[in-house]
Amino acid sequence: MTTESMITARNIGTALKLLKKWSSSHDLPNVSQFAQAHPSPYKVLISTILSLRTKDAVTAEASARLFAAAETPEQMILLNKSRIAKLIYPAGFYKTKSETILRISRELIERYDGIVPDDIDRLLEFKGVGRKTANLVLILGFRKPAMCVDTHVHRVSNRWGFVTSRFPDESEMILREKLPVRYWLDYNDLLVTFGQHVCKPVSPLCSACPVSGLCPKNGVTRSR
């Protein structure tokens, strides 16, 4: 492996610039598209919860049905759990998510006058909101620099050799230290899109990779 085939703090900007150019011809993740069309921190929060372990197309349809019935915490708590579950079906764990959506909506009204807080520690106090969801709300709902790391971001960052970690939460902490803040807002969108289309978990499409000249392909045993 040569220094030319490594993505480091010195050339990460080049890699992301290449990804940004490549991504212009690909759709953003569903939640990001939704946030652009509906710039509401509450809707971003709820649609992100819906997206967990759910395909993008299902998330999009479930979000549209739910927000057609209730767009704010105050409207949401007027719906019962069964109604919400029916609206978001077949999202993964739709019954549990219906309970989570109601509980969070009530807590937002009781604690924050129905306004989603723009602070990660406060967001994490809500049961059902993990680090991935909280960070994505900050990025998409408030356009605040945050480091959202899902399986795609974790995998690609490790495959590049930019981080070395076993779990997404570990990758987040390393990226917070290593990645310049100016790249934080775009990092999740770029790597998720890239991970979905090219840098796949098994047999990635290295022949179509815009950063193949920089990537050491860590952990890749078979590619196309």
Active site residues: 132, 150
20: phi then psi, degrees, rounded to nearest 5: -65, -40
Tell me which residue of 133, 124, 151, 139 sits closest to 184, measured CA to CA.
139
Tell me which residue of 34, 29, 56 sits closest to 45, measured CA to CA.
34
CB atoms within 10 A of CB 200: 16
